[in-house]
Amino acid sequence: MKTLRAILAVFQVTRRRIVNSRAFIWLLLAVLAASGALPFALRGDGSTESLLKLAVIYPPVLVFGILLTGTLWTAAALSAQDVESGAFSAIVVKPAPLTAVWLGKWLGLLTLNAVLLGVAGVALRTAIAIRATPSSATRILDGHAAFLPDDAPLREEASARQTVIRMSGEPTPDVNSLLMHVKTEAFRIPPGQHYSWTIPLDGSGIAGADADWSLQFQFHCAAVERRPIDGTWTIRTADGTEQKIPANGLLDGPHQLPLGSAAYAGTVSVSFSNQSDSAATVFFSPLAPVSLLRREMPFGQNLLRAFLLLFCFLAAAAALALSLGTLFSFPVAVFIASALVLALLLAHSFAAIPEPGHSHGPSDLAAHAGSRAGEWMLAKLHHGTARTLRLMPLRQLADARTIRTSQLVRAALALLAAIPSSLCLISGLHLRRREFPI
């Protein structure tokens, strides 16, 4: 009970300290600008859909970036500046456990993030509601379950190519690298040609049920200029039903076409036919060329889940910076925390480079020993954090994917419980051992 009271006392003081700081006001204004004003400044290709898509891509990323910076700064200040000002000396001579002091400060930081994320969420939702004309346009932002094409035939071809290369005695590339090459070649559709993807729906537990569907795809053009592409999408179901959807004047980039209410089941074939008089050859993304989307959840609910996940990430960042603040001086703690976050982002981006032969890709770097060491470290860093970073919801929100409850639970366990409690214990042990000469 005494420990709980100590946590509460530190929490209340931390909360007041944050609210009374200028940083809080600036963060609030920045977050409001990013979430409430930025959607009004964005210009897409002129359509409401593209505008709404942009509105769920840039503002959440910007809000997260602002809050991450603010959290690292504030958290490091909360512990490091307390030690430097002598405020911590007055606290550590009290019988309250040092982990309770850490926990109280961390909970105060969570309050800051909860308030600012709440403000950002409401502002973004309101801005999108205002910009969406007609209001039903926001349906493309709803949470969807995604069904991806079966790439087994292409994988078999990649394996076959790998075997041929191996038998020729040349250095054998990784099968995944070859798969990317095979997909890139296969998904290249010149004018007058078409390509079909097979999307299995069996085993999803929704086969046969009436639902709202849409088709999502992403391509780029061979032409230097962005020329509009004319084509036709054809959806064929297992029972032979065929649905043709003209897609004229498409500019390269991501797209989402509503298919309406349907009861798809079994295996669905999706094909794109590039018209013979079309402006250029189209290249569908080898990573996610097309996907069938089944509407599951309203946008507001999905946005709430996305922001809850962002909250979990900010909580882990707060724990990290708070702990570093107990180990180092304020500027050093902020520097190390920021460097760690940047290294994580770099490792993640590095690992996401799709083609090994890319000018910035791993193969080019592998020629130099120093670069190879850096590559190895980034790869290890990515490998160690990939499972956690996959919980980041920004891409899912932008792609209109449902953020699953299981994802929320995993994020809560990892980012709200496991990481902070480990850091709390480490900080508590360190504070017990450290001296406070000021």
Binding site for other proteins (CB under 8 A): 1-3, 5-6, 8-10, 12-13, 16-17, 20, 82, 85-97, 101, 432, 435-438
Rg (CA), the chain: 26
Of 387 and 430, the one with the shorter C-beta distance to other proteins is: 430
How many secondary structure helices (H) and strands (E) does the chain include? Answer: 15, 10
Cβ burial of 88 (10 Å; 0-12, 13-18, 19+) is buried
Peptide bond into 134 cis (omega under 30): yes
In the bound complex, what is the minimum distance in angstroms from residue 5's beta carbon to other proteins? 5
In the bound complex, what is the minimum distance in angstroms from residue 172's beta carbon to other proteins? 52
In the bound complex, what is the minimum distance in angstroms from residue 6's beta carbon to other proteins? 5
In the bound complex, what is the minimum distance in angstroms from residue 91's beta carbon to other proteins? 6
Of 20 and 163, the one with the shorter C-beta distance to other proteins is: 20
Beta-carbon contacts of residue 261 (< 8 Å; ≥ 6 apart): 210, 211, 212, 213
b/e sequence 336-363, b meaning 16+ C-beta within 10 Å? bbbebbeebeebbebeeeeebeeeeebe
Of 107 and 221, the one with the shorter C-beta distance to other proteins is: 107
Of 86 and 190, the one with the shorter C-beta distance to other proteins is: 86
Q: What angle do CA 253, 344, 327 make, to 5 degrees?
A: 150
In the bound complex, what is the minimum distance in angstroms from residue 326's beta carbon to other proteins? 15
In the bound complex, what is the minimum distance in angstroms from residue 11's beta carbon to other proteins? 9
Q: How far is residue 235's CA from residue 324's CA, in Å, rounded to a whole number?
A: 55
Cβ burial of 54 (10 Å; 0-12, 13-18, 19+) is middle
Q: What angle do CA 136, 398, 53 make, to 5 degrees?
A: 50
Of 290 and 333, the one with the shorter C-beta distance to other proteins is: 333
Q: Which residues pair with 284 in a beta bridge?
A: 219
* Count of alpha carbons within 13 angstroms of residue 203, beta-carbon side: 4
**Cβ atoms < 10 Å from Cβ of 175:** 15
Q: Which residues pair with 34 in a beta bridge?
A: none
Q: Measuring CA to CA, how many Å separate 257 from each of 97, 151, 212, 244, 301?
A: 57, 22, 11, 12, 22
Q: What are phi and psi of 172, to 5 degrees?
A: -90, 120
In the bound complex, what is the minimum distance in angstroms from residue 21's beta carbon to other proteins? 8
Of 87 and 417, the one with the shorter C-beta distance to other proteins is: 87
Of 95 and 203, the one with the shorter C-beta distance to other proteins is: 95
Q: Measuring CA to CA, how many Å separate 122 from each of 64, 115, 126, 130?
A: 15, 11, 6, 12
Of 102 and 307, the one with the shorter C-beta distance to other proteins is: 102
In the bound complex, what is the minimum distance in angstroms from residue 88's beta carbon to other proteins? 7
* Count of alpha carbons within 13 angstroms of residue 29, beta-carbon side: 4
Of 88 and 264, the one with the shorter C-beta distance to other proteins is: 88
Q: How far is residue 348's CA from residue 61's CA, in Å, rounded to a whole number?
A: 16
b/e sequence 131-164, b meaning 16+ C-beta within 10 Å? bbeeeebbbbbbbbbbbebebeebbebbeebbee
In the bound complex, what is the minimum distance in angstroms from residue 15's beta carbon to other proteins? 11
Of 5 and 395, the one with the shorter C-beta distance to other proteins is: 5
Residue pair 59/38 in contact by the 8 Å Cβ criterion: yes
In the bound complex, what is the minimum distance in angstroms from residue 75's beta carbon to other proteins? 17
Of 376 and 436, the one with the shorter C-beta distance to other proteins is: 436
In the bound complex, what is the minimum distance in angstroms from residue 322's beta carbon to other proteins? 17
